[in-house]
Amino acid sequence: AQKITQTQPGMFVQEKEAVTLDCTYDTSDPSYGLFWYKQPSSGEMIFLIYQGSYDQQNATEGRYSLNFQKARKSANLVISASQLGDSAMYFCAMRVRSYNTDKLIFGTGTRLQVFP
């Protein structure tokens, strides 16, 4: 079954430090996409970064990078130089496609708190 697992309910990090949010996934499809979204307290879902299953290099978007280890089926999000505004819920997601479905499935999320 296709599944996303985020084992860290909450994480704390000091401002300006780096933090890694864990994500593992399960799929038998050879082609898939992995996404990270941020949900601040205001509620909206903000796209952060994408990694394709065939991408040779780890994705990077500014202070966000994705540590993609295909053999381990992990897609951890690394936030460098944390800022107070990074405090939010972070969701890992996977694109699932078949003849009768096309959706993103989400993990349970990790709440990140950045302290001064």
Q: Which residues bind another protein (CB under 8 A)?
A: 31-33, 35, 37, 42-47, 50, 52-53, 91, 95, 97, 100-109
Minimum distance, C-beta of residue 81 to another protein, in the bound complex (Å): 24
Nearer to another protein, 35 or 82 (CB): 35
Kindly list the distances between the CA atom of residue 98 and the CA atoms of 25, 74, 103, 107, in Å, as whole numbers in the listed order.
17, 22, 9, 20
Closer Cβ to another protein, 47 or 115, answer by number: 47
CA distance 41 to 99: 36
User: How many angstroms separate the CA atoms of 74 and 70, rounded?
Assistant: 6
Nearer to another protein, 32 or 64 (CB): 32
